[in-house]
Amino acid sequence: MSDRRSTASVVSGRTVRRALVMAGIGGLTAAGLLGPGAASAQAAACPDVEVVFARGTAEPAGLGRVGQAFVDDLRSDLGGRTVGTYAVNYPASYDFLQSAPQGADDAGAHVQATAASCPTTSIVLGGYSQGAAVVDLISADPGATFGFGRPMPASVADHVAAVAVFGNPAGRIGRTLASASPLYGAKTIDLCNGADPVCSNGDDRPAHSRYVEAGFPTQAADFVAAKVARHGASDVRINASGSVG
């Protein structure tokens, strides 16, 4: 049985890597249209909401085009609430075996630090393309993709109000985050643009660079805003042993 699980994990990892290669192609297209990204500085005081977003392959450092559009729409939806942002600090390079785990380590560390220092802040996780894979690694990762196997502690889920991922390579193997994560699935929106080959078995490569134009950041922001409005520490209760109760 363990051999079968190991084989399945290797096959899944290879499929995700192939999707990430295609994500890189789309990332270059998107990056060519962008100027330097600008991530909002986190306020000194704890914000009402903290968005932790990982950009796609080859995008300039910052939130990325999809991430910035998502944050802008979310701020509009949340009205008077303060919204801080954190652009995951990672290469977003074509060396996916190194890049995505680096992003996962950075994102996971920031989320846990925020949960500890700002316990009443509602955290929102987000990612586009390779950045979506980064979010997968810290919130689900049932097959230890890329050998990572370091998802965040279960107790952190209390502090995460919602998750929004776009062009998620895990969709290629039928493992969307919404279906694969017991802790985060119910508060996740996992969006794939039609026949985007990075997240589906389709072949519309330009679709991977058109998430903003297709209105997906707005759709995700509406979903996340509703989750944030209902977010509370009782959403997921963790007992003393650390298991979900």
Catalytic residue among 99, 129, 139, 181: 129
Q: How far is CA 78 from CA 51, 118, 231, in A?
A: 12, 19, 13
Q: Is 129 a catalytic residue?
A: yes
HSE (side-chain half, CA atoms, 13 Å) at 190: 25
Catalytic residue status for 196: yes
Catalytic residue among 110, 159, 208, 231: 208
Q: What share of the chain is helix, strand, coil (3-state, %, to 5)?
A: 50, 15, 40
DSSP letter at 238 equals B
Catalytic annotation present for 9: no
Please calculate the CA angle 101-107-108 and round it to the nearest 5 degrees.
85
- The Cβ of residue 174 has, within 10 Å, a number of other Cβ atoms equal to 11
Helices (H), 2-85: 2-32, 64-78
By CB atoms closer than 10 A (0-12, 13-18, 19+), residue 45 is exposed
CA dihedral (130, 25, 193, 54) in degrees, to 10, reads 20
User: What tokens were used for 67?
Assistant: 């991430």
Catalytic residue among 77, 136, 141, 196: 196
| Burial class of residue 124 (count of CB atoms within 10 Å of its CB; 0-12, 13-18, 19+) | buried
Structure tokens at 216: 């997906």
Q: Which residues are catalytic?
A: 129, 196, 208
